[in-house]
Amino acid sequence: MSILVNAETKVICQGITGSFGAMHTKGCYLYGTKMVGGVTPGKGGQKDDNGLPIFDTVAQAVDATGAEATMIFVPPPFTGDAILEAAHAGIRVVVAITEGVPVQDMVKVRCALDILNTERPADEQVTLIGPNCPGVITPGPKSGSGDSADSTYTSAGCKIGIMPGYINTHISEASTGKSVGIVSRSGTLTYEAVWQTSNLGIAQSTCVGIGGDPVRGMSHIDCLREFERDPDTHGVLLIGEIGGTDEEAAARYVKEHMSKPVAAFVAGRTAPPGKRMGHAGAIISGGEGDAESKIAALQDAGIAIAQTPAHMGRAMADALGV
């Protein structure tokens, strides 16, 4: 099984005719994702290079295709409106890839989504991933071939965003018979965690890059809750970084609610206070948010800690006992 998306999820791309939107739509399409169309205002009625229909609005795309999920590749000033357009059109999973979205815009978006979700039944509520994230992927068994690793696709998987699909492993291909969920604030570390676990014979049920902005959609806890419910997720690899208190909150959640083994890595041990490192949310300020306090909280919850990025896969394997 998986969380958030699966092989049957119908996906559109907002910003499908932009350079990045077009490139990653093709990548998702070749991976095996059920890409059913895209949205670019003023270009409705056309088709992209994959033969997918283009619509002027998300509502039109949903009505015509039954789309349930979207990935957003529109410029930062328009991302907030794109998220809300998708939510009001009935999209269930919104994946905002765009980097540099104004924090004020995201504050308004989060408030609007919170209100919207209180008015809807649980199975119709909107889940936002990102912004400034690599997306989400549920691997399927590999099939097909091509001239490069990226041209290998799956017949039963779903990739929404910019993650490299070929490094993922489906449970049917895992020598250990184990599958883990991965949740990360860092895109690059997500890929590294996937590569390491795959090389150790461990599959991934779903990988979620939640993004590194201070105001965003899904949190570590949101993902932990879903992974705990998924019977085919045998453990969770949590990747955090300096800034904020998400990892401390996640540690408390693991201690109180998780029955599955959890491993973790926290980036930014050498970052000086007051200096933003990489992501907009990665800053130590106000006496909180440093790596050591996060690591201490995670260790107190019984979580296996990887001391370096190179040891994330091994820490997860040890936690699983494989």
Q: Collapse the DSSP code of 25 into the 3-class scheme (helix H, G, I; strand E, B; otherwise coil) and give the result.
A: helix
Weakest-pLDDT range from 54-58, 155-159, 232-236, 311-315? 155-159
Say what the pTM is: 0.92
Percent of the chain with pLDDT over 90: 83
Alpha helices in 38-167 (DSSP H): 58-65, 76-88, 103-118
Output the CATH code of domain 10-129. Answer: 3.40.50.720
Summarised one tens digit per residue, pLDDT across range 43-57 is: 999 999 999 999 999
Q: 10 Å Cβ neighbour count for 41?
A: 12
Q: Collapse the DSSP code of 138 into the 3-class scheme (helix H, G, I; strand E, B; otherwise coil) and give the result.
A: strand
pLDDT score recorded for residue 146: 43
For the segment 252-275, the average pLDDT, to the nearest whole number, is: 86
- Best CA proximity match to 160, nearest among 71, 52, 93: 71
Would you say domain 169-320 falls under CATH 3.40.50.261? Answer: yes
Task: Provide the greatest CA pair distance for the chain.
Answer: 56
For the segment 279-300, the average pLDDT, to the nearest whole number, is: 72
Percent of the chain with pLDDT over 70: 90
pLDDT score recorded for residue 278: 60
Alpha helices in the chain (DSSP H): 19-31, 58-65, 76-88, 103-118, 187-199, 220-229, 246-257, 291-300, 312-320
pLDDT score recorded for residue 147: 41
Q: Collapse the DSSP code of 208 into the 3-class scheme (helix H, G, I; strand E, B; otherwise coil) and give the result.
A: strand
Q: Which residues are catalytic?
A: 279
Q: Has residue 306 got a pLDDT over 80?
A: yes
Q: Where residue 274 falls among pLDDT bands split at 50, 70, 90?
A: low
What is the domain partition of the chain in residue ranges?
10-129, 169-320
Summarised one tens digit per residue, pLDDT across range 162-220 is: 999 999 999 999 999 999 999 999 999 999 999 999 999 999 999 999 998 989 999 99
Weakest-pLDDT range from 9-23, 233-247, 288-302? 288-302
pLDDT score recorded for residue 135: 98
For the segment 71-83, the average pLDDT, to the nearest whole number, is: 98
pLDDT score recorded for residue 269: 75
C-alpha span between 122 and 116 (Å, rounded): 11
Q: Where residue 291 falls among pLDDT bands split at 50, 70, 90?
A: confident
For the segment 9-38, the average pLDDT, to the nearest whole number, is: 97
